[in-house]
Amino acid sequence: MPDPTRTAAPRRRRTGPVGAVTALGLVAVVLTATPATTSTAAARASDASVAAPTTGAAALTTARLPLGNSALPEVRRSRRLASGVTWTAIRRGVKAAKPSAIATTAQGPWGVHVVTIDPRAARGRLAVTAGADLRRSERTSTLAKSTKALVAINGGFFTYTADRAAPGDPVGLGILRGTITSEPVAGSGAVGLIIDAQTARLTISRFSWAGTLQADGAEGDPLPVHGINRPPVAAGTCVRIPVAESGEDPPEPANPGDVPPLASCAGTGEIVRVTGHWGALTPAGPGVEILVDRDGCVLRARSTRGGALAPAHVAYQGTGGAADALLELSRAGCLQFSERLVDQDGVEVGLTPSLNAVNGRQVLVRDGAIVETRAGRGFQGRNPRTIVGRTARGVIAFVTIDGRRPTSVGASLAEAARVARSLGLVDAINLDGGGSTTMVIRGTVVNQVSGRTERAVGDALVLLPG
């Protein structure tokens, strides 16, 4: 992996998962009230065949996690997974929490997993995978195995149970190999994470997107395109989209940790672009659908939505008055689609094949400073968390914090931000969490998921071997 500092200056005992990580041979370090004290007995008990982190490995700061009482014992077990890639499992606190105290206890315990990737030494590449298509959801472990990933974590928020026909549909920005596959959404805390596999640079920002469609070679006002790879909203309606963060899997009752739902509204209808990334069938429903080939030339028009979609073809679906305008435009024969993605500073994102992106909710750390969040329960309160960020040296970190269990109580957004900063991250984002929080190393889930089983998710961030 290339050196990101050449392309961008810094901006900005034993329960649950510990059993799994011990089986994989991690080297133990015990942090007591005096930081960085090494337990030689624990080190001798570890697997001697496992190499400890060496020069070139992405070292993790030894600062104690700012969770709970400062005197809590903290045990860290580390393993060098590959050149420049280190995995550390952290266990803070000992005594299991009472279920009634999980949301408030200062005694923990906490189970945290951190994978650090130093682009100067790592030979792999970072990517995003959504599996077979965007419409369906798949487990993070399945996505990891299908890509032969060394490391994988769950990615962005998705519709989950809001759309039984498309549970994996991302709710926010999605980019796969330089192609925008899902538009960013507006809303409090809605942000995106762009990863450039070529430069190993992370960009965390609020993004906005605009798309247009017009007759090829024509002048005049084009039609607005309102979204990508999702069902269009009917005219005059709003659709509330509860996304997957923090709720328990059905048929269990809804969890108060669910992220507040987003609303998508259409006054006179919408036009949505549907590509082969969505799947083999376009979203069905009332409205019209125009099918075009790779050159944008119209193949056929349908008086209803839903039908077969070849990988090389694109469909445009319209509802309400927008459907009438789309049908009229299709008579031109060939259509031209344009789009523009800009960050919160108004800088346009150049879409290259090395770019991938997932969505998130809430920036945790920006330019080395913790981003304050309002205190509260539910989404703001203690939940399992998935975090991605970078250090000032460009080292990338994948972090999971287990939660909702007596063996690991989880973290509020404020606690997650403090953890990210204590790990040395100068920029960090909160991805989908709750029952989605999963870390997979060499095909094995190493954290303790909060549900009865591992949840199927919309996408995953993966480190592919070099």
- pLDDT tens digits for range 9-64: 333 333 333 333 333 445 455 554 433 333 333 333 333 333 333 333 445 677 89
**Is residue 144 domain-resident?**
no
User: Are the C-beta atoms of 365 and 388 separated by less than 8 Å?
Assistant: no
Is 450 among the domain residues?
A: no
For residues 328 and 411, state if they share a domain: no
**Together in a domain, 315 and 406:** no
Q: Is residue 84 part of a domain?
A: yes
Residue segments in the chain with a per-residue pLDDT below the cut of 70: 1-60, 162, 236, 238-267, 375-376
The pLDDT assigned to 26 comes to: 53
Same domain for 21 and 96? yes
**Per DSSP, what are the bridge partners of residue 257?**
none
181: closest CA among 196, 163, 190, 168?
A: 168
In a domain, 220, yes or no: yes
Do residues 393 and 424 lie in contact, with contact meaning Cβ atoms separated by under 8 Å?
A: no
Q: Is the dihedral of CA 456, 155, 281, 238 positive or negative?
A: positive
Is 132 in contact with 92 (CB distance < 8 Å)?
no
Give yes or no: residues 57 and 115 share one domain: yes
Q: What is the pLDDT of residue 40?
A: 31
- Nearest of 132, 135, 157, 158 to residue 143 by alpha carbon: 132
Q: What is the pLDDT of residue 244?
A: 55
In a domain, 195, yes or no: no
Q: Could you tell me if 337 and 215 lie in one domain? A: yes
Q: Which residues contact 447 (CB under 8 A, 6 or more apart)?
A: 17, 111, 113, 400, 402, 437, 438, 439
Instruction: Cite the beta strand spans of 130-261 per DSSP E.
Output: 138-139, 151-154, 174-176, 179-182, 190-196, 201-205, 208-215, 223-225, 227-228, 237-241
Residue 407 and residue 333 in one domain? no
Claim to verify: residue 387 and residue 334 sit in the same structural domain: no
Say yes or no: 282 and 393 in one domain: no
Check which CATH number belongs to the domain holding 288 and give it.
Answer: 2.60.120
Q: Which of 341, 366, 400 is the last residue of a domain?
A: 341
* Domain identity same for 327 and 395: no
Any domain includes 323:
yes
Domain count, the chain: 2
Q: Tell me if 278 is assigned to some domain.
A: yes
**pTM reported for the whole predicted model:** 0.84
Please indicate, yes or no, whether residues 229 and 323 belong to a single structural domain of this protein: yes
460: tokens are 């995953």
Residues 90 and 12 in one domain: yes
Q: For residue 133, is it within any domain?
A: no
Domain that holds residue 301: 209-234+269-341
Where a domain ends, among 312, 341, 370? 341
The verdict on 47 and 112 lying in the same domain is yes
Sign of the torsion formed by the C-alpha atoms of 381, 426, 399 and 198: positive
